[in-house]
Amino acid sequence: MVPGESIIIQSTVRVPEGQLPNAAFVTSNTNGLDITEATSIVSDSGDLSSSAGFANDNTNANINPNNVITYDFVLIENLNRDNTIPESFVITSTACLASGNRGDTKRSTGQLTWDIDTTTSPVTTGLETDQTINVIVLEPSLSVSYSSSPSTVQGGDTISYTLAVNQGTASNRSPAYDVQITSTLDSHFTINNFQVTGPASTEVVNANDFTVNLARIDSTESVSITFDAFVENTIAAGTTYSWDADLDYTSMPGVPSPCTERTYTDSDPTSVRSLDPSSLLAVFDSSIVSTSTDEFDPIVEDVGIGELVTFSIISEFPVGQNDYAVEFELPLDADSYMVYDSFTGTVGSSVNYVGPLPTPTITDSNGFTSNVFNIDFGTFGVDPGAAADRRITLLVVGHVVDNSPTDTVAGNTLTGTATATYSAGVTEVATVDVEVVEPVLDLIVSQDANSGDYGDVVTFTVEVDNIASSTQEAFDIDVQVTVPAFFENIMLVSNTAGSSFSETSNVITITAPSLDKDASITVEYSASVAQTAIPSETDSTDFVLTWESVDNANARTSASDPSYQVDRNLDFAITTPTSALTLSNTNVPNTAGSSITIGEQAEFTWEVCIPGGTSPSPEFTMEIPATADLRIDSATVSIGGNISPTAPTAVLSDQYLSSNADTATWTWSGDIVNNNNVDSCTADDIITFVIEATVMDEATNVGAVAGSVETSFTWDVASEITDSTSFTIVEPGVTMSTDCTPFNGADAGDSVSVVHTVSAANIANTNSDAYEVLLTATVDDKFSLISGSVSSSCGSATSDTSNFPVITLSFSTLVVGTSCQFSYDLLVDETVEPEENLETSITYAWRSVPDAINNVVGETRFYTPANDVCQGTSELPSITISRVTSSLPDSETGTSVCGTGYDLAIGETAIYQVTVTIPEGTSPNARLLAEAQGDTNGVLEVVSAGSLVVPASMAGSDNPNPPAQFANLRGSDSILDTAIFNFGDLQNDGDNNPANDVITFLVEVRNIDDPRNVDAACASLDLVAALEQGARRHLSSTEEIDIVEPNLDITVNFGTLVDGVVDVTILVDNIGNAPAYDVVINDIFTDVEFDITTLQPVTIPAGFIYSEQTSPTTVTAVTSADPSETYPANSIEVGEVLSIVLSIEPQDGVSPISTTASIPTILTLPNSDPEARDEPTVSDADTLDVPVVSFEKSLDSIVTDVAPIGNVSPGDTIRYEVIAENTGSSLNGVIISDLP
């Protein structure tokens, strides 16, 4: 279906013979497949009926907004009884596809419901669902494209247009209906040759618009429209013209009913542009031919500083009237620029400009002067003609200004900008670039000798190069050369054509008019050393080169730019004596290069070459400074055949006060003469000095000390030449590391592997071989050597175990940078004790040189024994302690809120198990202890200890299974706080079976009734187990036992006096941390205040009994724990509150009244346990004020005395006085009556 299309949906309901109570049928559609009508219900049999009727008008159908129709038939009945095919009725509805997208699925479902059994709750119903109808949504999918050719036109051109309507690529497409294609062109374009290809269509084509209508385009069809557009001459130049192709279509033909169709649109633009006027700006010519475009950018003109450059500005105009003006800013950048010099111009034959060319104006810009060319031609006409005839050409001349050496430099790109202004203010900007070039010259000078003496001839070469980094030809080249005074006979040898050479008074001038890029000038001349030359004297030949950028007055020179000058010089020295000093030999083979060791003898050789001529008053010295202490053993000298006179004998001295000869001096009494006049240094020209020196065993000589031999040759004129050679003192450095596996945790019967690794270090101060190495190992007496286990990787080493526990190893050489191992295996003896220190140590000694070379004390260094130790501790015992049980269940006293330990009431006992793991070996004087706390903070009594379990592999020397002994070891009292098992020396055989290493026993402790044991601020007691082996002592972790006690609080209160009776309430609250047992609560009443015969119990708590204790004057109400009950019924548990209520009558006339309640018995253990603590008595009292009323009636007076006899007689009138007095608490509402 497509949007707007309608569908008729039918559902057939077959009804079996009988009834369908409460029957209903529902048709439901998904959103978008909108129901428009419940059309009809048709039955196929008269036997089929509905209590609601099968009316064709569907008055019983209800359509709701959710696309659901409900048919409520109430009761459907089939009266047919032929037992054949069930009768049926058909329900018909209509729906429209109103929404949804291409490819969506819309569904319609029918469903019949009825009641099967109405007697059930809920009612049993039946359900029959029709098959679902699925509808796929289809849509048309068209697009339009619009194209033209060519895209740039002018008047008289024809443009070809193509408009295409194509199908989309999506699936589920449907035909498009009522298709319309329109487009409107600009009025400067006229439509021709209009043609439509595709399905049948109608067209309306006007001069510059068209409309194409198609009734239908199938989902596989397309449409093509082609036409031409003629461009009218009225078109405006330089203008863009645009218009659209519009496409409209629908999903359904015509106007569908009852549904609504969907509409679609698409469009595509096209455009063309008319031609623009144009201008061209370019470099036309330059004054130096050698500058072109090949230096930087290959298409940009190169321009020298000061060079004249001609620029061409060519503008081409369309036919018609034109305005034209040009502003040309000559090339520039931020720092450099060109200035205007002149201009010329030509006008094409089709350009109607009359008269001479306009006079330009020259202005300034960007802070520069005379660098902008302006010219205005006004308005002129242009006739049709060739492009060349419709042009104006301007030629503008300028040059790069020598502005600043740092601003105007080679490689700068200067940009010129020509702005042409045409008709209607239309402008066009053209730019031209030039690149600044400069000549860069280099001066290369050389001489074929840098030193010499009298008579030597030296040749000099002067070369001027226009080098690779140069970018143009150079002009006016000039070289000035200043020659030292010790040269004479200056002569030209050769020079490059075009250059000139002249010399006056040791000043040479070399010139050339120009030098092309990549070209060079070379001049050679010679000079000889004069007789006046002084040996060792030095001086230089100085060269100065200058040049210019162009050959005119605008050129850049060295005066304006110092970089246009190059200075060079060549130094020349008269020959100086030379020398060579070396460490030529040593007598210890392992040292090399400049390294020498203690006791080694080194040979130093000094060769001095004497130049031809005379060296007056010479002296030669070889010395060893004090940084290293060497003793000079000998000093010799030999001279070459060209040298005279013979050499003197060396004088040895101690210049550095080292107590050894450290300096050798040779002094000639006259001059040394070398008769050789050839520039060479042969054996006949050399004097050779040799000293031999021994490195002494002195404190200053240590590894890495750098020493040297210093030499000096002095003579009158040449002053001094010196030389030195350095050496480094090295020593053999030996280190030792020892690995003992396993030492820690070893016990009897274990084997231990010991590996000693000895190394010769290879670092700055220890990089020599060690000689005569001796290793001496000393083994702990708890070990025995395993036979055959001694081995070594130290070459031809010799070991000796005859003096065990001492083992020695000796060998001759340990090469620097290497190491070797000395190893052996040990067996742990049965006598080893737990936690005993085990140790093996090794000493090692060596020498600096072999005995065969030097074993003299003070020369050879003997390294005293160094020490390395491998230490460990034999296996430690382990002890744990754990709670087993207690005399009260945990429901009474369990884990305390005050800690992780267990609670223990006063008098309560607990049993703990102690587990001890004994290492294999001997534990001397061994005893196991269970230690309870006994100090000022508390005391824990050890009640019993036993159940000792000792493995068969263990035996004590005193008793293999000792009984427990008890003692007071932790307090000053007599309480037994420690249980002890004495084994004597306990031997645990080394069978390597951990199961045979464990001893266990039980200990019972009691929290005794002692003043120190108080439940206050989470107080606790501790219990710890220990293993003692002589002086060693090993402890378990501490077992904390929290002290808990009951803490009873009592309050007594009078109630209100009612009808002469008052209630007394006693509250008892256990605010402690343990239950209270065998509690007795007393309340005392006296006969002075109460009628003690009226005392009655009102409320007595369960688990408690009531009794009275009387005397002639008092009665005591006693509430006590019922002995026939058990805790917790007859105890007061933690947090429990007891309430006791009594009643009694106070005595008349007594106020206030009072009572005192107390708890004289509070035990920490049940059943009157003798170990229990009886907590202190607590009490409380209360007082109550009661009214105390008295009446007194008396004869006040005789008012009328009939017979005045002084006594009352009949007929007299008398007055009585009644006095009511309350001496107690107040009364309200008092009524007094008096009867005569």
pLDDT tens-place string over residues 179-227: 999 999 998 899 999 999 999 999 999 999 999 999 999 999 999 999 9
Cβ–Cβ < 8 Å for 24, 272 = no
pLDDT above 60 (res 60): no
Q: 540: which strand partners?
A: 571
Shortest CA distance to 808 belongs to which of 770, 839, 832, 773?
773
Give the pLDDT mean for 73-78: 86
Q: Are 178 and 249 in contact (CB under 8 A)?
A: yes
Q: What is the pLDDT of residues 376-417, one digit of tens each?
A: 998 887 777 788 888 899 999 999 998 888 888 888 999 999
Mean pLDDT of the chain: 87
Q: Would you state the pLDDT for residue 56?
A: 46
Contacts of 1146 (CB under 8 A, 6+ apart): 1057, 1060, 1062, 1089, 1090, 1091, 1153, 1184, 1186
Edge-to-edge strand ranges of the sheet holding 706-715: 595-597, 719-730, 706-715, 619-623, 663-667, 651-653
As a whole number of angstroms, the distance between CA 534 and CA 1109 comes to 146
Which tens digit of pLDDT belongs to each residue from 1079-1128? 999 999 999 999 999 999 999 999 999 999 999 999 999 999 999 999 99
Question: How does pLDDT run across 1001-1030, given as a tens digit for each residue?
Answer: 999 999 999 888 888 766 778 888 888 888
Q: Mean pLDDT lowest for which of 42-56, 910-924, 1026-1040? A: 42-56
Task: Name the token pair of 148.
Answer: 């033209």
Q: What DSSP designation does 994 have?
A: G
Q: What is the dihedral of CA 437, 441, 442, 443, to 10 degrees?
A: -170
Spatial distance between the Cα atoms of 225 and 208, rounded to a whole number of angstroms: 15
| 504 contact partners, CB below 8 Å, separation of at least 6 | none
SS3 1135: coil
Distance of CA 18 to CAs 14, 129, 755, Å?
Answer: 12, 20, 107
Percentage of the chain beyond pLDDT 90 is 44
Kindly indicate the confidence band of residue 1198, based on its pLDDT and cuts at 50, 70 and 90.
Answer: confident
C-alpha–C-alpha distance, residues 854 and 848, integer Å? 9
More confident residue, 895 or 481: 481
How remote is the C-alpha of 548 from its chain's centroid?
Answer: 63
The encoded tokens of residue 840 equal: 């093996």
Confidence category of residue 57, pLDDT binned at 50, 70, 90: very low
Whole-number pLDDT of residue 1229: 76
Q: Is the pTM of this model over 0.75?
A: no
- How much is the pLDDT for 571? 95
pLDDT band, very low/low/confident/very high, at 298 (cuts 50, 70, 90):
confident
Closest by CA position to 123, among listed 131, 109, 113, 135: 113
DSSP string of 598-663?
A: TT-EEEEEEEEEPPSEEE-S-EEEEE--TTS-EEEEEEEEEE-TTEESPPPPPEEE-TT-SSS--E
If you search the block for the tokens 């065969």, which residue do you land on? 852
Distances (CA, A) of 864 to 470, 798, 1203: 75, 20, 154
The structure tokens listed for 817 are 């940078």
Q: Please state the rounded mean pLDDT for residues 900-923.
A: 88
Chain segment 93-138, per-residue pLDDT in tens: 888 888 778 888 889 898 888 888 777 878 778 777 766 888 898 9
Task: State yes or no: pLDDT of 815 exceeds 80.
Answer: yes
Q: pLDDT, tens digit, for every residue of 557-585?
A: 888 888 889 999 999 987 888 899 999 99
Dist CA 1051 CA 1067 (whole Å): 5
Contact at 8 Å (CB) between 684 and 641? yes
Q: Which residue has the higher pLDDT, 411 or 465?
A: 465
pLDDT band at 749 (very low <50, low <70, confident <90, very high): confident
- Could you give the CA distance from residue 695 to residue 859 in angstroms, rounded to a whole number? 7
∠ CA 1061-1066-1072 to the nearest 5 degrees? Answer: 175
Q: Which one is predicted more confidently, 2 or 675?
A: 2
Comparing C-alpha atoms, which of 1029, 1021, 1000, 1033 is closest to residue 881? 1000
* Gap between the Cα atoms of 1070 and 1049, Å rounded: 6
Exposure string of 1181-1195, with b = 16+ CB inside 10 Å and e = fewer, is ebebebbbeeeeeee
Tokens linked to 379: 């308005």
End-to-end CA distance of the chain: 124
Q: Which residue do the tokens 């001049």 mark?
A: 523
Residue 613 and residue 506: Cα distance in Å, rounded? Answer: 27
Peptide bond into 805 cis (omega under 30): yes
Going by C-alpha positions, the residue among 1092, 1189, 1100 that lies closest to residue 1144 is 1092
Please state the rounded mean pLDDT for residues 538-549.
93
Nearest residue to 1101 via CA among 1053, 1133, 1054: 1133
Instruction: Find residue 823's DSSP bridge partners.
Output: 755, 791
Look at the alpha carbons of 1130, 1134, 1137, 1142 in this order and tell me if their dihedral is positive or negative: positive
Strand partners, 110: 27
pLDDT in tens, 326-339: 999 999 999 899 99
Q: Is the pLDDT of residue 293 over 60?
A: no
Tell me how far CA of residue 1043 lies from CA of 23, 150, 1048, 1062, 1166, in angstroms.
82, 111, 16, 42, 17
pLDDT for residue 896: 60
pLDDT value at position 560?
A: 82
Worst-scoring range by mean pLDDT, 17-26, 529-538, 802-811, 995-1004?
A: 529-538
Report the amino acid identity of residue 437: V
pLDDT of residue 55: 56
User: What is residue 238's predicted lDDT score, i.e. its pLDDT?
Assistant: 62
Q: What does the block give as tokens for 1163?
A: 């035990």
Cis peptide before 1112 (omega within 30 of 0): no
Weakest mean pLDDT among 424-438, 571-585, 689-703, 719-733: 424-438
Asked if residue 1069 lies in contact with residue 1049, where contact means CB atoms within 8 angstroms, the answer is yes
Partner residues linked to 614 by β-bridges: 673
What whole-number distance in Å separates Cα of residue 1085 and Cα of residue 1114?
Answer: 6
Least-confidence region, from 255-259, 1118-1122, 1166-1170: 255-259
Question: How many secondary structure helices (H) and strands (E) does the chain include?
Answer: 0, 89
As given in the structure block, the two tokens for residue 851 are 């005995």
Position 866 scores a pLDDT of 81
Closest CA to 160 of 224, 228, 207, 208: 228
What's the alpha-carbon Rg for the chain, to the nearest Å?
67
pLDDT-based confidence at residue 255 (cuts at 50, 70, 90): confident
Q: Higher model confidence: residue 648 or residue 59? A: 648
- Per mean pLDDT, which range of 311-315, 897-901, 1198-1202 is the poorest? 897-901
Using alpha carbons, select from 63, 114, 69 the residue that is nearest to residue 91. 69
Q: What is the pLDDT of residue 263?
A: 92
Contacts for 608 with CB less than 8 Å, ≥ 6 apart: 577, 578, 579, 620, 686, 687, 688, 689, 713
Please tell me the predicted confidence (pLDDT) of residue 1126.
92
Cα–Cα distance measured from residue 961 to residue 959, given in angstroms and rounded to the nearest whole number: 5
